Amino acid sequence: MSDPEALKKGALVSAAYDTFLQVGLRILSFILNAFIVRHVSREVFAVMTVRLHLLYATGLLLSREAFRRAALSSKASVEIHKLINLVWIGLLVSGPVCVLGWYIWQYVMKRPPDAVTTDYDAGVIFMVMSIVVEVAAEVPFVLAELQLWNKTKVVIEGLMQVLRSILLATFVYIWPMHGVLMYGISHIVGSLIYCVSYYGLFIQIFHKKEEVVKLPVKGIRQLFPRWKPGRLLPEVDSELGTISWSFFKQGWLKEALTEGEFYLMNFFSLISLAQQGEYQVVNNLGSLAARLVFRSIETAAYKYFAQMVYRGKPINEEDQERIAEVVRFLTSLIRTLLLISIFILTFGWSYSSLLLELYGGRQLSEGGGTLLMRAQCFYVIFLAMNGITEAYTFAAMDDIQLSRYNHFLVLFSAAYIGTAVIFTQIFGPLGFVLANCINMGLRITYSCWFIHKQYQGSEYQPLSSVYITPRIIMLFSFALVFTTISEAFVYPQSVVLHIGVGAVSLAAVVYFLRWELRPFVEKILHFVSKFLSRVSKQNEHMDKDQFSSVSVVNKIHWLLYRL
């Protein structure tokens, strides 16, 4: 497919489907973890969702990520058999990666005690098998993506994860004492369904002549590698091979940065298995809003900034109207996300214990769970600020500046590892959250320094929105004190009344902050109204539903001004 418009449209649709898939999987994981943590101990939960999942994620990243990214960046001129050969190298790589992973997880990492689980060995083997099976399905996956079959990934990966979740929930409910074994079995079954579904899809298509014409391959045999006589390895495209090697080297650093805290937990035994399980649940729950909301906003913001700002170009040489719009958008985003994160901290502080008890039972809310959850609420402020400032920084930096930032990123990661080791010895699992705050703080500082330096000497001050007025601080402080008193005296007597106090406090804060939130709400309403108007103009006659939708949006906009 070489039509630029078709590629652009396909990429947008693919991004929308992928976002839908990721949100759906996050919600599914959220519900599944809430069920599992009530039926197994925190130690077993840690072995499943931290130890074994880390092996699975590491193996997939190192075995397929580099070859997948290189293959998906290929052009139409690449010979298809060389592309297929390249993807199959991932399966060859998965062999030594899985053997190394099996050895490390079995003999290097500290084994869970038999009192926790006797199925650890089987769980490790099942995870290794899952890696190999899923990597074996890479060729049909890549071909489907290159053909822009946007729904295929959503359907097949969604089916795999839903099936895994149903099996795991069922097995854990029936055999809670064998949770680790059931986790491994559920994973391998899901991986088999994933692999069979992709090959089954192509087998079905190969029986349809009108569909085969559109494909670069014409039969099932062409999905497998081809060797030339006398060659040890199949022939691959040299450019894609070089790109794959670069991606493979970056993969190790990416994995270390992404899963660093979990490697530290398991290799150095900084915290116990019970604390690992508690940390995993609280981390997933505390960062849910950031992952579902902030990440989507950051992605959209990066795309906007990348379109509006020229990399490495001085501000005074840019189009001033565009820069003014960029600054307004940047300041509005920083202000809004800061307020949202302060909302989360204010009300999360007094409702962490209740949320954890509702989610995972009293065993989760007691002990250090509540303190961890409060720390996660504080950490959300760093996530909000870092996401937007880095989105702008990455869009505005030139190649030299990006390379320099990567060097700083390695230093920041080293600082994170050092502080995590020290803090966990003092504060336990809370030390990982504090180390994350320091790491994010360093990254925010660098991004703010870059933005300040870029706009220095101009009339614009994009970082002015970081300043929170004493009036707003006082408002949130009153809400925090009010809900904290409710947690101490009302919550032990009535959960419903405690929730009611929080609802009233939240409504009061929103009312008094309506002037701060109005620009953000106006932007949303303007976008929705513009979208609905565009849809209505595409049709000769606007139906009643469309008319009422536009009217509702306009009435909300009018009401906003009345308030």
pLDDT reported for residue 17? 59
**Residue 499, pLDDT above cutoff 50:** yes
- Lowest mean pLDDT: which of 341-350, 501-510, 535-544? 535-544
d(CA 338, CA 385) in angstroms, rounded, equals 7
Q: Assess whether pLDDT exceeds 60 at residue 397.
A: yes
pLDDT value, residue 18:
58
Rounded to an integer, the average pLDDT of 231-238 is 73
pLDDT digits (tens, 9 = 90+) for 39-79: 888 888 889 988 999 999 889 988 888 888 778 766 666 67
- Look up residue 475 and give its DSSP letter: H
**Within 13 A of 499's CA, how many CA atoms are on the CB side?**
6
Chain mean pLDDT for the chain: 79
Backbone angles phi, psi at 451, to 5 degrees: -65, -45
**What's the average model confidence in pLDDT over 221-238?**
76
Query: Rounded to whole angstroms, how far apart are CA atoms 475 and 513?
Result: 9
The whole-number pLDDT of residue 548 equals: 47
- As a whole number of angstroms, the distance between CA 51 and CA 49 comes to 6
Whole-number pLDDT of residue 123: 93
Structure tokens at 229: 């006589």
Confidence (pLDDT) at 79 = 77
Beta strands in 269-325 (DSSP E): none
Burial 123-137 (b: 16+ CB within 10 A, else e): bbbbbbbbbbbbbbb
> Binning pLDDT at 50, 70 and 90, where does residue 22 land?
low
403: which 2 tokens?
Answer: 């390379």
Give the pTM: 0.70
- Whether the pLDDT of residue 383 is over 80: the answer is yes
Binned at pLDDT 50, 70 and 90, residue 559 comes out as very low
State residue 227's pLDDT score.
Answer: 75
What band does 102 get if pLDDT is binned at 50, 70 and 90? Answer: very high
Check: CB of residue 32 under 8 Å from CB of residue 357: no
- Locate tokens 């650093």: which residue? 253
Nearest to 282 by CA among 33, 25, 24: 33
For residues 483 and 505, the answer to whether their CB atoms sit within 8 Å is yes
Instruction: Check residues 534 and 297 and name the one with the higher pLDDT.
Output: 297
Are 185 and 48 contacting, i.e. CB atoms less than 8 angstroms apart? no
* pLDDT range class, residue 510, cuts 50, 70, 90: confident
Q: Which one has a higher pLDDT value, 187 or 512?
A: 187
The most distant pair of C-alpha atoms in the chain lies apart, rounded to whole Å, by 81
pLDDT at residue number 15 = 52
Per-residue tokens: 164:
């895994």
Whether 206 contacts 164, CB under 8 Å? no
Tell the residue number behind the tokens 């049709």, with chain if given. Answer: 539
- Tell me: the pLDDT tens digits for 235-285? 777 777 777 777 776 566 666 666 777 888 888 878 888 888 888 878 877
| Across 184-211, average pLDDT | 89
Q: Look-up: residue for tokens 């993807």?
A: 87
Regarding predicted confidence, which is higher, 293 or 484? 484
320-365 pLDDT, tens digit each: 777 788 888 888 888 888 888 898 899 989 888 888 888 777 767 6
- For residues 280 and 315, the model is more confident at 280
Range 400-418 average pLDDT: 81
